[in-house]
């Protein structure tokens, strides 16, 4: 097969120029800080508060998506109903919609005078401009991941295995918990991890709905932005490196999970 030199050479050059060197520059810039300085910035109270909110809301959003995304995938694969194709296509909307648009649209819906926000407000729940608002935005942007990773696995599920379980006397629920769920689990975990990873770095859809109060509703991406606007490049870089390490670690976990999914597919 020809073209290894050309294609690999081009790939590595382009990857290095556009991605690796810029990211490396950030890591290099952070070496301008001593380890103590780096630690001080990375563990400042405002930074810690932003990690707590970012990680907490991302986890919660990913969890909500794991439950409902699984349910949506199940319904889309298993049942026939009017509008199924439309819903199926709509699932990808958070991928396709610009995050700033998602942000102001969600704010309009969940503000105190919004369609859903007004009902929540009458129950005494503040949705927009609170940590709940952050969670709502992060749930929105993570929505496609679980559905899209679980869906193909459900589609490929061997009907005979379920029939066998049923003919051996398993109830529908037993078949689900003992046969279907274990098969889908790797894909479900992958989807969860993808949604979580996406939520960790999210910026556009959150900044409008969160209200951006330091220590309360300020996500880490926004804190970096704030530091940049104050020309605190070293501070921004230190937090950027923390986030980069987190997302790179998650990426490796996701790759392992995906290999597990692929292995399952082969084993079947």
Q: Which of residues 133-192 bind another protein (CB under 8 A)?
A: 139-140, 143, 155-156, 159-160, 162-163, 166-167, 172
Q: CA 52, CA 195: separation in Å to the nearest integer?
A: 17
User: Could you give the 3-state DSSP secondary structure of residue 223?
Assistant: helix
- Residue 72 within binding range of another protein, rule CB under 8 A: yes
**What is the closest distance, in whole angstroms, from the C-beta atom of residue 47 to another protein in the complex?**
14
Q: For another protein, which stretch binds (CB under 8 A), given 40-48, 95-103, 127-135, 184-192?
A: 95-103
Q: CA 261, CA 183: separation in Å to the nearest integer?
A: 9
For the chain, helix (H) and strand (E) counts, in that order, are: 15, 0
250 contacts 200 by C-beta, under 8 angstroms: yes
Q: Considering the complex, state which of residue 44 and residue 161 has its C-beta at the smaller distance from another protein.
A: 161
Q: For another protein, which stretch binds (CB under 8 A), given 43-51, 124-132, 183-191, 196-204?
A: 196-204
Site string for another protein, 26-65 (x = CB under 8 A): x--x------------------------------------
**From residue 186, how far is each of 45, 151, 243 by CA, in Å?**
36, 12, 25
**What is the closest distance, in whole angstroms, from the C-beta atom of residue 142 to another protein in the complex?**
10
**Beta-carbon count within 10 A of 108 CB:** 15
Q: Considering the complex, state which of residue 131 and residue 179 has its C-beta at the smaller distance from another protein.
A: 179
- Residue 23 within binding range of another protein, rule CB under 8 A: yes
Count of residues that bind another protein according to CB under 8 A:
94
What would the two tokens of residue 138 be?
A: 């992060």
- Over the Cα atoms of the chain, what is R_g? 22
**What is the closest distance, in whole angstroms, from the C-beta atom of residue 161 to another protein in the complex?**
10
Q: CA 216, CA 194: separation in Å to the nearest integer?
A: 25
**What is the closest distance, in whole angstroms, from the C-beta atom of residue 255 to another protein in the complex?**
6
**What is the closest distance, in whole angstroms, from the C-beta atom of residue 23 to another protein in the complex?**
6
What would the two tokens of residue 264 be?
A: 């399952």
92 contacts 142 by C-beta, under 8 angstroms: no
Q: For another protein, which stretch binds (CB under 8 A), given 36-44, 66-74, 123-131, 181-189?
A: 66-74
**From residue 123, how far is each of 11, 120, 130, 133, 135 by CA, in Å?**
55, 5, 15, 15, 18
Q: Considering the complex, state which of residue 64 and residue 130 has its C-beta at the smaller distance from another protein.
A: 64
Collect all residues with Cβ–Cβ distance below 8 Å to 156 and sequence separation of at least 6: 265, 268
**What is the closest distance, in whole angstroms, from the C-beta atom of residue 62 to another protein in the complex?**
14
- In the set 44, 55, 116, 154, which binds another protein (CB under 8 A)? 116
- Residue 204 within binding range of another protein, rule CB under 8 A: yes
191 contacts 66 by C-beta, under 8 angstroms: yes
**What is the closest distance, in whole angstroms, from the C-beta atom of residue 34 to another protein in the complex?**
18
């Amino acid at each position: 097969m020809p073209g290894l030199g050309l294609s690999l050479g081009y790939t590595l050059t382009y990857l290095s120029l556009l991605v690796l060197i810029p990211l490396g520059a950030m890591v290099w810039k952070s070496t301008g800080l001593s380890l103590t300085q780096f630690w001080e910035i990375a563990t400042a109270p405002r930074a810690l508060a932003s990690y707590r909110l970012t990680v907490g809301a991302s986890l919660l959003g990913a969890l909500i998506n794991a439950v409902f995304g699984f349910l949506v995938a199940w319904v889309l694969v298993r049942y026939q109903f009017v509008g199924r194709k439309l819903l199926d296509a709509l699932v990808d909307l958070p991928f396709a919609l610009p995050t700033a648009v998602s942000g102001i649209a969600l704010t309009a819906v969940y503000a105190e005078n919004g369609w859903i926000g007004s009902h929540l407000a009458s129950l005494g729940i503040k949705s927009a401009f609170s940590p709940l608002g952050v969670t709502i935005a992060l749930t929105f942007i993570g929505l496609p991941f679980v559905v899209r990773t679980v869906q193909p696995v459900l589609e490929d599920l061997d009907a005979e295995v379920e029939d066998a379980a049923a003919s051996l006397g398993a109830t529908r629920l037993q078949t689900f918990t003992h046969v279907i769920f274990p098969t889908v689990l790797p894909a479900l975990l992958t989807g969860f991890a993808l949604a979580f990873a996406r939520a960790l770095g999210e910026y556009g859809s959150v900044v409008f709905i969160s209200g951006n109060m330091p220590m309360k509703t300020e996500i880490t991406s926004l804190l970096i932005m704030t530091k940049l606007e104050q020309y605190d490049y070293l501070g921004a870089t230190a937090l950027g490196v923390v986030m980069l390490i987190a997302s790179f670690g998650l990426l490796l976990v996701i790759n392992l999970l995906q290999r597990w999914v692929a292995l399952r597919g082969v084993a079947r």
